Amino acid sequence: MSSVRLIDCLATTAELAGIFSDGATLQAMLDFESGLARAEASLKIIPHSAAREISKSAKADGFDLDALCAAGLRAGTPAIPLVKALTARVRKSSAGAARFVHWGATSQDVTDTALVLLLKRAEQVIRRDLDDLERSLRRISVSHAQTVALGRTLLQPAPPVTLGLRAAGWLGGVQRCNRRLRASFEDALVIQFGGASGTLAALGGSGIRVGKGLARELGLGYPDAPWHTHRDRLATLVCACGVLTGELGKMARDISLLMQYEIAEVAEPGGEDRGGSSTMPHKKNPIGCALTIAAALRTPGLVGAYLSAMVQEHERATGGIQAEWPIVSELVQATGLAVASMKEVAEGLTVDAKRMKKNIEATRGLVFAERAMMAMAPAMGREAAHEILERAARQVTEQGRRLGEVLAGMPEVAGHLRSKISQLETPQDYLGVAEEFRKSLLKDEF
């Protein structure tokens, strides 16, 4: 049976839903307990035999998840009923070993470290898909370095750009976000281990050694000190996810607009049951873009909710920590869905260069008004040239003529542009330093 709930089917992927599933979350909590026992046994704080029994029992199979959830709601944390259930399971095989379950830890140590373990697994999925997305965007940019398309400002036609530059812009944003995300994951993937008040007093002078051993067991970093009410590391990760999802949303918005039937310059990959309509058989909807935009619309609220929950009192907080699990889980899954969706879009994106050329031609040269104005301005001044081009643009619109034709018939213009009018509407001649910018974004040599 799928680990994705129906209500979440547009909010996550099967892979990420599996990572944050009940079974995986439970196992992450149990991994903390078994790792703690092994670390303490290695320091002779508890018997090795007890650590073996605890590790053997710390398997998610057989635990009553419904009962744990119900008891967790009563206790204010799922860690308390989990420790009780694990202790009871260990006791069945060794009453002596059961005495050492959860030795020196506190409930928040379990839940925070379990969340970090889930984040570590999610990072691998998101990083893989981000790397694939970057490769596809680089390929598009290189392949279409000279593919000229309309620039669009405020949704209106503007001087031409290249699809290669546009794709390089998407790539540059993704790369910057990827760097920030990796750094924030690296900072956040540390254990939580502080005991009741963050001093590990129950372990005497052995607390730091146990903590470092636990970190090694779990493959996580060891922080300078417990961070029960200092949530800045996770907050930075949350913000990085929000920024990345917003950047992907920008890319998705661009592509979905370019897919409109009357524009039709690019298209998402299709396939059976993808992008169709329940009533309109002709439709090819931008599904990957839609899922990404939906994720980008959700994440700001989740980021804000997490930042609000950072205001936590003293050594252990009331309310803030209880708010975090669903926020972080939903946010990371939304981010991963956006990355996976845009990866699929970029890998299969089709480009219609002929349609791009046709859309430029459909403006009847109006997008080159700036070019004409700048050619005239040195002789008559920019303001005067701007006024003339405004008049010419109105004639183009009202009379259905081309800009070059209108300008050629204006006596005050012809002398200044006579030698240039024939080339005025050549898109390739008005790209400025687009290629230099494209290569800069790709970190290629000029």
Known catalytic residues are 277, 316
Cβ(388)–Cβ(348) under 8 Å? no
Structure tokens at 195: 């005991």
Beta strands in 211-293 (DSSP E): 266-267
CB atoms within 10 A of CB 77: 20
Structure tokens at 134: 């970057």
> At 162, which helix (H) or strand (E)?
strand 156-162
CB atoms within 10 A of CB 141: 26
CB atoms within 10 A of CB 378: 10
What sign results for the dihedral spanned by CA atoms 32, 33, 35, 36?
positive
What 8-state DSSP symbol labels residue 126?
A: H
Backbone angles phi, psi at 262, to 5 degrees: -75, -10
Written as one letter, the residue type at 395 is: Q
d(CA 237, CA 220): 16
Cβ(262)–Cβ(255) under 8 Å? no
The residue to which tokens 């839903």 are assigned: 17
